[in-house]
Structure 1
Amino acid sequence: MEALDKPRNIQSKGSIGDIVTDTDRASEAACIAVLQAAFSDHAILGEEGGMTGNDDSDYLWCVDPVDGTCNFAHNYPGFCVSVGVLRHALPVAGCVIEFTGGPGKWSTRTYSGGRNLGSTVDGKPLLVSSIKKLEDAMIATEFNYHDEQLWPSMTQLFREFSMKAMGIRASGAAAVNLCHLAAGQIDAYYQYMLKPYDVAAGIVILEEAGGRVTTADGSAYSVFDRSLLATNDALYEQVLQVVEGPTSRAMQQGVQLGPANVPKAYRVRSGRQLE
């Protein structure tokens, strides 16, 4: 909050649109300090600093200190702080603080959720939308940081959803999209090339609000996969019918969308259920 409406020290990470600010680093340091004090034997994965802590732990905290840094850098709403924790590959709890409003009048919304505990926004229960027809649906995606080979598929999907859905939007932050889906503000979200810290918190918040999550070709999803399809339950088959074909063709053409970005030594076990 202290950094809002002030000049940004913006640095490139090496490609257009992939940037970092002093606020990203300060936010990550603040989150990690809290987590290390509370869970000294857990592993932590931060977007800016990578792995810290005990990477042999069953638990991995995933910290995105500013998800939507490009929005933040331009004083454009739709950025957040996202902190989620995995047990092996399963998100078990998460918190996302979204910054809303605009210059001179910023505010926040706090989304939180825990496995089998439900999810809330500012303490009020979340529930996905009841939209049942694709023609009535608002679809979200993002267009940054894609493998060049994905662009034909992305272009096709944008065209298909523009013609078949009520609207398609790109807010600039994966965690915000997942929370908006959990709150019923959008009805489906598809995305490629995400990292664990982009989605760890949002996935559990969404699933606890009644959302459905798979890979974009309809397989069981983990936060280490590089394609994602999330919807309210009623729309899933209709949205999958649009997304599955272009995704499968991209994979046949050599685009790697399987599991990746698993931290070295972190123990990932298969299966979705807690013991």
Structure 2
Amino acid sequence: MQSLRQWASGRQAALACNRARLPVHRSPIVRASSVKGEVTAAPADAVALNELMEVAIMAAEKGAEVVREALDRPRSISFKGATDLVTETDKASEEAVLAVLRKHYPRHALLGEEGGVSGDTDSSYLWCVDPLDGTTNFAHNYPAFAVSVGVVRGVTPVAGCVVEFTGGPHAWVTRTFAAHTGRPTTCNGKPVRVSQVSDVRRSLLVTGFGYEHDEAWSANMELFKEFTDVCQGVRRLGAAAVDLCHLSMGVVDGYWEYRLKPWDMAAGIVIAQEAGATITTMDGRPFSVFERSMLASNTLLHQQILDKTDPKTRGLLAANVDLSPWFVPPGYDTTRR
């Protein structure tokens, strides 16, 4: 069986070959215009989407190597808050991921969960990195964590990769989800698609809770109960990227959560969307990676889920609970398309 390092090396060699044939910043990407029949060229600084995805895969796999090597070792754990923990593996994985991104795109902006903002925030591209999504799960050997690498243009994720760890102690395996805009999502190279469940009473849903027990947390607890009463079950894994990947392959049918950050969502959003998911805010507005609430579904269930999340979210807003867009790196232009 080909090792992860050999596989990643092969991808890097292939990417180098592609670079020799195609200058990075003169990619022949085209976009459909709003006028039927017209096609407009991509912006001059556009990078080929397939290339962005390949680099995301290489970076995520490099981070996954670090995580894999740490699985059977004692955990070195510290705390960012009362219950929000971080391990040395988070930091080492982020360093490995960012090294790949800086090598290929030294002028792109970078946003890591552990290291914050770096690179050129005047860039059209922002890489959002969660080096170990589901750190608490990792610390307890609970098989629901991942390395997530997504790239955003403006406010829209355009390519990403999530390497999910499953199986558990003595049986760890990974599966690699990848997608870019206009390319169907794959898991370990095979196409995946959202479910066709059209009745919320037949659905399995998933949600998440932040570390702050605030008004949004309380509202979500109420939603958890309401959905448990009407669907076949609600799960809570504690790893947003994993939740979105499970939606993309039809394992769950809908997902909602407050208080997410760009690194939690960037890769998972494009992976879910290109598998057929619909994504909005929890009150039904158009979604951006900087929003503070997200509802993702298999599309068929979206309105049925929104019928419950919308009133709760509007109630929070009416009570002046802050759900405004999250921190945007200084100098980063969210209007780019």
* Superposition TM-score, scaled by structure 2 size: 0.79
Two-structure CA RMSD over aligned residues (Å): 1.0
1:129 and 1:187 in contact (8 A); partners too: yes
The 5-angstrom pairing of residues 15-94 of structure 1 reads: 15-16=82-83, 18-94=84-160
1:212 matches 2:278? yes
Alignment partner of 2:201 out of 128, 135, 143: 135
- The CA deviation at 1:165 is 0.6
Deviates more, 1:148-157 or 1:63-72: 148-157
Gaps of 5+ in 1: none
1:12 matches 2:12? no
Query: Quick one: distance in 1 between partners of 2:297 and 2:107?
Result: 35
Q: Percent identity?
A: 50
Alignment partner of 1:3 out of 70, 74, 82: 70
- The CA deviation at 1:244 is 0.6
- The CA deviation at 1:87 is 0.6
Query: Quick one: distance in 1 between partners of 2:172 and 2:314?
Result: 42
SS in 2 for 1:222: coil
- The CA deviation at 1:96 is 0.0
2:210 and 2:217 in contact (8 A); partners too: no
SS in 1 for 2:301: helix
2:201 and 2:230 in contact (8 A); partners too: yes
Partner amino acid for 1:54?
D
Q: In the TM superposition, what whole-angstrom CA distance separates every residue of 1:169-219 from its partner, at most 9, and x where no partner exists?
A: 001100000000000000000000000000000000000000000000000
1:145 and 1:193 in contact (8 A); partners too: no
- The CA deviation at 1:141 is 0.4
1:136 and 1:166 in contact (8 A); partners too: yes
2:210 and 2:258 in contact (8 A); partners too: no
Q: Looking at CA atoms only, which structure, 1 or 2, has the larger radius of gyration?
A: 2
Alignment partner of 1:256 out of 294, 297, 322: 322
Alignment partner of 2:288 out of 208, 218, 222: 222
2:158 and 2:180 in contact (8 A); partners too: yes
Partner amino acid for 1:267?
D
**Bigger fraction of residues in strand:** 1
Aligned length: 270
SS in 1 for 2:70: coil
Alignment partner of 1:168 out of 216, 224, 234: 234
Deviates more, 1:248-257 or 1:79-88: 248-257
Partner of 2:5: none
Partner of 1:183: 249
* Superposition TM-score, scaled by structure 1 size: 0.96
Query: Quick one: distance in 2 between partners of 1:192 and 1:153?
Result: 9
- The CA deviation at 1:147 is 5.0
- The CA deviation at 1:60 is 0.3
Partner of 2:219: 153
Query: Quick one: distance in 2 between partners of 1:232 and 1:253?
Result: 30
1:146 and 1:193 in contact (8 A); partners too: no
Q: In the TM superposition, what whole-angstrom CA distance separates every residue of 1:146-171 from its partner, at most 9, and x where no partner exists?
A: 45112431222011101011100001
Q: In the TM superposition, what whole-angstrom CA distance separates every residue of 1:100-149 from its partner, at most 9, and x where no partner exists?
A: 01111100000000001121000011100000000000110012324511
Partner amino acid for 1:95?
C
Query: Quick one: distance in 2 between partners of 1:158 and 1:117?
Result: 33
Partner of 2:11: none
Q: In the TM superposition, what whole-angstrom CA distance separates every residue of 1:244-271 from its partner, at most 9, and x where no partner exists?
A: 111110111121112112111111117x
1:115 matches 2:155? no
Alignment partner of 2:303 out of 237, 254, 263: 237
Query: Quick one: distance in 1 between partners of 2:163 and 2:260?
Result: 19
Q: In the TM superposition, what whole-angstrom CA distance separates every residue of 1:72-100 from its partner, at most 9, and x where no partner exists?
A: 00000010000000011110000000000
Partner of 2:31: none
